[in-house]
Structure 1
Amino acid sequence: MHTTRARDLGIPFAGTPGRHNAITDVPGIEVGYTTLIHGEPGADSVARTGVTAILPRGRAGVGIPCAAGTYSLNGNGELTGRAWIDESGSFSTPIAITSSHAVGAVHRGVDEWVHAVNPAVSAQWMLPVVGETWDGYLNQINAGHVEPAHARTALDAASPGPIAEGSVGGGTGMNCYGFKGGTGTASRVIDHDGTAYTVGVLMQANFGSREEFTVAGRPLGPDSAAPAPIEDDGWFLRDGERARSVPGAGSVIVVVATDAPLLPGQCAALARRVPLGLARTGTTGSHFSGDIFLAFSTANSGSLTSRMADRTSYESLRFIPWGRVDALYTATVQAVEEAVVNALVAAEDMAGREDHVSYALPHDEVRAAFS
């Protein structure tokens, strides 16, 4: 798989990426998509949406907890399962990301998939982790395009290795900084006392205003020649909506994964570093943007159990000392920054419902800025 990525355009990102520069560089992680693109612009039924699925420990590892923590920069969005993650410091289900009005269908689909592949896990209770961002500019968001079967298909498609970016999966109909947005990923490798660990990021980028967009410290958004019709205040009114479009509105869901052994509180600390990476690309965090983040560790398999059948007297966790976690913070910030730009670089122009169009970030503008 080879598509143009941000580094191909000459952007000098810091840090050392993994083999695929993707969340799947973390051993065991698999990613799959269902991408729904049907109906010509102006047709009665127009879908520009989908589902992104992440298996933290692969298909065979469903039900095995991962230490985890969450953080919300701005809560105008949804990530199901957060209450249990914050309570227990762990989760053991797949992760899915989709359209705002498809959370219920995807949640149901994850339940059905887990019941099919590991009924022992579904026999007691499940709290799937499903995040969303709003794709109603290009997608007919109330048409019910996403069904439980699409979540099952994305989970079945999950695999390791290089993964697609841009207008794929849940990111299909998304916009970012007034450009066509979508799915982005990146990774960093760090050393801890001679052991290499990986931090991987996957995000659904649907946030930011054109005036904010910055790459490696250079403001590219304000002078871009690409139109930004999504930031035209008139289209909400023309479409019969009851509100006005606000530049910067949208959302971003970011998933941070690592194989470094961490406590749940340390995972939450990684999640709190996500906004620092986003801020490098310009966003100030709009009130109308749901910016919610999940970080987890795949180490310590077999710990943090919480099933009714558990009868273990004690469990233990091996973890990097708090005083040695700064390299993981740095890796998180660097990977988040690059994942945003990867999502934008991979995206292409897309037309959707009511003849709405979202234009991609021009590659030549980026090359010119860093030549």
Structure 2
Amino acid sequence: MRLRDLGIVIGTGKPGVNNAITDVPGVRVGHHTLNVQSGETSIHTGVTVIEPRTVAAHLEPCFAGVHVLNGNGDATGLEWIREAGLLTTPIACTNTHSVGVVRDALVAAEREMARQHTYWCMPVVLETYDGILSDIWDQHVTAEHVQLALKDARSGPVQEGCVGGGTGMICHEFKGGIGTSSRVLSAEQGGWTVGALVQANYGVRESLRVAGYPVGTVLKEVPSPYDGPVNVGVPGMGSIVITIATDAPLLPHQCTRLAQRASVGLARVGGGTEDDSGDIFIAFSVGNTGLPVANLGHPGTPTTALQMVNNDYISALFVAAADAVEEAIVNAMLAADDLEGRGRRALALKPAQLLSAMKKVGWQPEFTPGPVETAGTVPTGT
């Protein structure tokens, strides 16, 4: 179940058909998941890729911008986006120690597409730490796994929870992972779509808020994966990386402004205040086409005709981004399953559990949902 299936609504905006980042035209998402739990072996990790367009990004670049709320994390490819304002590769999300291999695999994939050109690329790879539940030191993600995630990239509904780069992640001391949501603006606001995808691996239980309600205060007694005699970390450590996409014709500095609004959505759920969390956000726009092809040895024309959203209309995009991020984070937790790894157990936030907590803190449903089942467990195997 997703948040809206429970009658819990974030904001007043309307979601897209899939309520996902893929509601932005051309955007595709692919995952490859590694799940092996056998004896002392705990491998719960993977890679998630976001393709910004239906064609290779270096052939049809997007304007983009980045924002770092807290830099206790790492990413590749962001400096060129800050400098040039262009996204020219897919975006990948994985675990902290697999950034290098994922980046190299994306370079190899670009090389295969551009052998006839003199060409270079700096792929965007974002990370969060899954070492509480997964054996991160042995770097189990390989180039082949990245290739499989790229082949899996598709439009339509997006798998959430314990999948891809989010497989081993923890959020507000519940099982976290991948989550997504979208908003479609009214015709009067421009009619554009804003979508967000998060890899959520941050937060303390007591600070968790859903639709403004402090549910973490009544869920604080739920066992935490950080409980136990051996110190494996502290609640709140981890990170969250967020990608926002839109078809509104934004210029690079406007994309940066949109990326900043991910902070608003994160704060509403109860994040953004931990020193141990790397909070890194990227936003891109597919609204302008015909931008100069990236680094292929022919300069093209001296100028390019562009469109831009007037600032009088940009606030609605900011609202949509904040709402989509907020909902995507909760979707990540609701879609997840209980997961055991490295002697720890992260419990998923069950739909019935959330509804009960919401009612205890004063929430009233807008409609009565159907029967709510508890989440299952993650199957073992690869």
- TM-score (normalised: structure 1): 0.92
2:3 aligns to what? Answer: 6
Give the aligned partner of residue 325 of structure 1: 314
Match of 2:124 in 1: 129
CA contact (8 A) 1:10 1:367 kept: no
Q: 2:18 aligned with 1:20, yes or no?
A: yes
In the alignment, does 2:69 pair up with 1:73? yes
Equivalent pair of 1:226/1:359 in contact (CA under 8 Å): no
1:272 aligns to 2:270 (yes or no): no
- In 2, the alpha carbon distance for the partners of 1:226 and 1:143 equals 33
Tell me the C-alpha RMSD between the 2 structures. Answer: 1.7
Give the distance between the partners of 2:105 and 2:212, measured in 1 at CA. 41
CA shift for structure 1 position 61: 4.6
Alignment of 1:239-318 (within 5 A): 245-307=233-295, 308-318=297-307
Q: Are the structure 2 counterparts of residues 288 and 178 from structure 1 closer, same or farther at C-alpha, using a change threshold of 3 Å?
A: same
Distance 2:138 2:64 in 1: 34
CA offset at residue 118 of structure 1?
Answer: 4.0
Q: Which amino acid in the other structure matches residue 36 of structure 2?
A: H
Instruction: Note if contact 1:177-1:248 (Cα within 8 Å) is conserved in structure 2.
Output: yes
- Find the aligned partners of 2:121 and 2:98 in 1 and give their Cα distance: 18
Matched residue SS, 1:51: strand
Superposed CA deviations along residues 252-289 of structure 1, whole A, max 9, x for unmatched, are: 00000000100100000001111101111112421100
Q: Percent identity?
A: 45
- Report the alpha carbon displacement of residue 296 of structure 1 after superposing the two structures with TM: 0.4
C-alpha deviation, 1:63, in angstroms: 3.2
- Find 2:44's aligned residue among 42, 48, 51: 48
Match of residue 240 from structure 1: none
Post-superposition offset of 1:218: 1.1
Runs of 5+ in structure 1 lacking a partner?
238-244
Cα distance in structure 2, aligned partners of 1:169 and 1:106: 12
AA in 2 matched with 1:6: L
Write out the 4+ residue segments of structure 1 that deviate beyond 6 Å after TM superposition: none
Question: Does residue 108 of structure 2 align to residue 112 of structure 1?
Answer: yes
Residues 309-344 of structure 1: CA deviation (Å, up to 9, x unaligned): 113211232111122200000000110000010001
CA contact (8 A) 1:73 1:285 kept: no
Contact 1:198 1:258 in 2 (8 A): yes
8 Å Cα contact 1:103/1:131 also seen in 2 = yes
Unpaired runs of 5+ in structure 2?
366-382
Specify the alignment match of 1:144 in structure 2: 139
Alpha-carbon separation, structure 1, partners of 2:115 and 2:208: 46
CA–CA separation in structure 1 for the residues paired with 2:108 and 2:310: 39
Number of matched residues? 357
Equivalent-residue separation in structure 1 for 2:112 and 2:198 (angstroms): 27
Per the TM alignment, residue 365 of structure 1 is displaced from its structure 2 partner at its CA by: 2.4
- Contact persistence 1:89–1:264 (CA under 8 A): yes
1:35 paired to 2:33: yes
SS in 2 for 1:231: coil
Deviation by residue 1:83-106 (Cα, 9 ceiling, x = unmatched): 000000111101100000000110
Counterpart of 2:380 in structure 1 is none
Cα gap change, 1:209 to 1:267, in 2 (>3 Å): same
1:93, 1:225 → 2: CA distance? 41
Mapped contact 2:21–2:197 kept (Cα < 8 A): yes
TM-score (norm 2): 0.89
